[in-house]
Amino acid sequence: MKRFLEVEESIKTVPWNMNGLHSHSHYEIFFLTKGEREYFFTNVQYHIQAPCIIIIPPHTMHMTEGGPFERTIIDVSEDYLNGYQRHVLTEKSTKILKPTDEQSKELMRLFREMVETDRHAKHADDVLNLLFGYTLHAINKIEAPNMNSVSFEKSYIPPLVLKAVNYLNVSYGENHTLEGLAKHFFVSKATIMYNFNKYLHCPPMDYLLTLRLSKAKEELMNTDKSIKEISESCGFSSPNYFSLIFKRKENISPGNYRKYQNTKK
């Protein structure tokens, strides 16, 4: 795996939902240009309307769903970024950015140029790098008042789900069971299963597994901990089970994942 910058457009003419929560080891810049979406990240869900930008940092659980829409996404690896670009993405991450009409037109022009750049042309990488730099500089100019626009609002997720997500986000390394989770919140297993499936589109234990794998990938990339130490800190019952699940879900062993990530640095 190597440093990368990828730009992708998508137009959906019918309702479309992501296949559950996920995370990744790179930054994602999500630019909604038409339509409305429900966007969940970490432990909050927003109803957003175009034009709107959300920056998702590495290893952050998120998903989006809703009706017809148009959007452009930039996926960029951390090692692609210079100091200023990293600063902008860090400062603007997980905030709802609502550009003015003028800012939106400029951003749409820059995104369009990136999409239409011929990746096989001479100096294509240099052109993309310049356009990406201008794009982040434009995003950096979107000030706080725009982030608090009335054009977006928090969507309803029951307190039970939010409390359970917060609880798992800070205690993912502990030994959790569905029965134990239900007892902790004084509800039945059926109740917590129903609410997770309805609002997060996955059972509580599936959410926990995805969260643990996301945390494990973060530790593999950013620490020198052993596989055994990471499996323990992320709540897996044994290093062998951790390696088995990691390879099944990611199609690569934890050790090789770390090696490939390190080659990008």
Query: Does one domain contain both 27 and 136?
Result: yes
The answer on 30 and 130 residing in a single domain is: yes
Give residue-wise pLDDT tens across range 185-219: 999 999 999 999 998 889 999 999 999 999 999 99
Domain boundary among 99, 122, 154: 154
**Tens digits of residue pLDDT in 140-189:** 999 754 444 434 456 678 889 989 999 999 999 999 999 999 999 999 99
**Claim to verify: residue 181 and residue 225 sit in the same structural domain:** yes
253: exposed, middle or buried (Cβ count in 10 Å: 0-12, 13-18, 19+)? middle
Residues 122 and 16 in one domain: yes
pTM: predicted TM-score of the whole model, two decimal places: 0.83
83 and 111 housed in the same domain: yes
| Token duo for residue 88 | 């902008």
User: Which structural domain, as residue segments, surrounds residue 125?
Assistant: 5-154
Long-range Cβ pairs for the range 193-197 (8 Å, 24+) = 195/158, 195/160, 195/161, 196/161, 196/164
pLDDT band at 54 (very low <50, low <70, confident <90, very high): very high
Same domain? For 47 and 90 the reply is yes
User: What CATH number does residue 59 fall under?
Assistant: 2.60.120.280
Identify whether residues 46 and 25 lie together within a single domain: yes
Alpha-carbon gap, residue 75 to 118, rounded angstroms: 17
> Quick one: average pLDDT of 114-142?
94
* pLDDT at residue number 44: 83
- Residue 227 shares a structural domain with residue 198: yes
pLDDT higher at 198 or 43: 198
pLDDT mean over 7-19: 91
pLDDT in tens, 78-121: 989 999 999 999 999 988 899 999 999 999 999 999 999 998 99
Highest mean pLDDT: which range of 14-28, 124-138, 250-264: 124-138
What's the pLDDT at 259?
Answer: 86
Give the DSSP letter string of 157-216.
--HHHHHHHHHHHHHTTS---HHHHHHHTTS-HHHHHHHHHHHTSS-HHHHHHHHHHHHH
Same domain? 150 vs 166 = no
Q: What SS3 state is found at 254? A: helix
CA distance 73 to 10: 8
Out of 154, 178, 208, a domain closes at 154
Q: Domain count for the chain, please give it.
A: 2
